[in-house]
Amino acid sequence: MGIKQLKDPIYGYVKIDSNIFTNIIDTACFQRLRNIRQTSYGPLYSAALHNRFTHSIGVYHLGIIAISAIEKVVPKGIEEATFSNFCIKYKRLFSLACLLHDVGHAPFSHSGEAFYILPKPDELYARMIGEVGDERFEKDASSYHAKSKAAAPHEIMSVIIALERFKEFFQTAEQKAFLARCITGYKYQNIEDEEINLQNCIISSLNSSLIDVDRLDYLIRDSAVTGFESVSIDYIRLLNSLLIVYDEKDKKYEVAYGKGAISIIENVIFAHDAERKWIQNHPVVLYEHYLVQCAIRTVNAHYISDTKKSLFCVEALTQEGCDFGDNRHISLLCDDDIIYLAKNVYPNDLTNEYFSRKDRRHPVWKSEAEYRALFDRKLGDESLDELEEDFSSIEKFLNLKADEPIINEITLQLCKDELTEAEQQDLGPDQETTISGYKTRIKWMECLKSFSESVGIEFDYVLIGANKFKSGFMKEELMEIPIYFPNLGETKRFGHVVTALSSSRKRDKFFYLYYQRRDKPLEIGKITSHIKRALV
Amino acid sequence: MCIFIGIEELVANALIELLEKTKEREVTLDKLCEYGAVVVRVLNKKGDEAALVLSRDKTNELVANYADLFEFKDYPDGTSAIALKENVTADILRAQFRVYLPLDVLLAFKNAESVRALGV
User: Is residue A235 very low, low, confident or very high in pLDDT (cuts 50, 70, 90)?
Assistant: very high
CB contact under 8 A, B54 and A400: no
The mean pLDDT value of chain B amounts to: 88
User: Is residue A92 very low, low, confident or very high in pLDDT (cuts 50, 70, 90)?
Assistant: very high
Q: What whole-number distance in Å separates Cα of residue A255 and Cα of residue A204?
A: 8
Segment A373-430, tens digit of pLDDT: 888 766 777 788 889 889 999 999 999 988 889 999 999 999 999 999 999 999 999 9
CB contact under 8 A, A147 and B55: no
- Residue B92 contacts A, CB cutoff 8 Å: no
CB contact under 8 A, A433 and B100: no
Phi/psi for A56 (5° steps) reads -65, -40
- Return the closest-CA partner of residue A255 out of A247, A265, A263: A247
Please give the helix or strand (H or E) that residue A509 lies within, else none. strand A509-515
Residues of A in contact with B51 (CB under 8 A): 114, 117-119, 121
The mean pLDDT value of chain A amounts to: 90
Top-confidence residue, A195 or A497: A195
Segment A20-74, tens digit of pLDDT: 999 999 999 999 999 999 999 999 999 999 999 999 999 999 999 999 999 999 9
DSSP state of A343: I
Nearest CB partner across the interface for B106, out of A145, A209, A434: A434
CB contact under 8 A, A114 and B4: yes
Residues of A in contact with B98 (CB under 8 A): 430, 433-434, 437
- Return the closest-CA partner of residue A226 out of A38, A376, A405: A38
For residue B94, give the chain A residue with the closest CA: A433
CA distance A512 to chain B (A): 18
Q: What whole-number distance in Å separates Cα of residue A417 and Cα of residue A413?
A: 6
Question: CA gyration radius for chain B?
Answer: 13
ipTM of the complex: 0.90
Q: What is the mean pLDDT of residues A158-181?
A: 96
**C-beta of residue A294 within 8 angstroms of C-beta of residue A404:** yes
Segment A382-396, tens digit of pLDDT: 788 889 889 999 999
| Burial class of A1 by CB neighbour count within 10 A (0 to 12, 13 to 18, 19+) | exposed
Segment A242-270, tens digit of pLDDT: 999 999 888 899 999 999 999 999 999 99
- Reply yes or no on whether the pLDDT at A119 is more than 70: no
- Residue B52 contacts A, CB cutoff 8 Å: yes
- Reply yes or no on whether the pLDDT at A506 is more than 70: no
Q: What whole-number distance in Å separates Cα of residue A335 and Cα of residue B37?
A: 31
Answer left, alpha or beta for residue A57, where phi above 0 means left and psi between -120 and 50 means alpha: alpha
Top-confidence residue, A50 or A372: A50
**C-beta of residue B28 within 8 angstroms of C-beta of residue B80:** yes
DSSP state of A278: I
DSSP state of A407: B
- Give the whole-number percent of chain A exceeding pLDDT 90: 64
CB contact under 8 A, B1 and A430: no
CA distance B29 to chain A (A): 6
- Give the whole-number percent of chain A exceeding pLDDT 70: 97
Residue A1: the pLDDT is: 65
- Reply yes or no on whether the pLDDT at A152 is more than 50: yes
Q: What is the mean pLDDT of residues A296-320?
A: 85
Taking the CA atoms of A23, A27, A29 and A33 in sequence, report the sign of the dihedral they define: positive
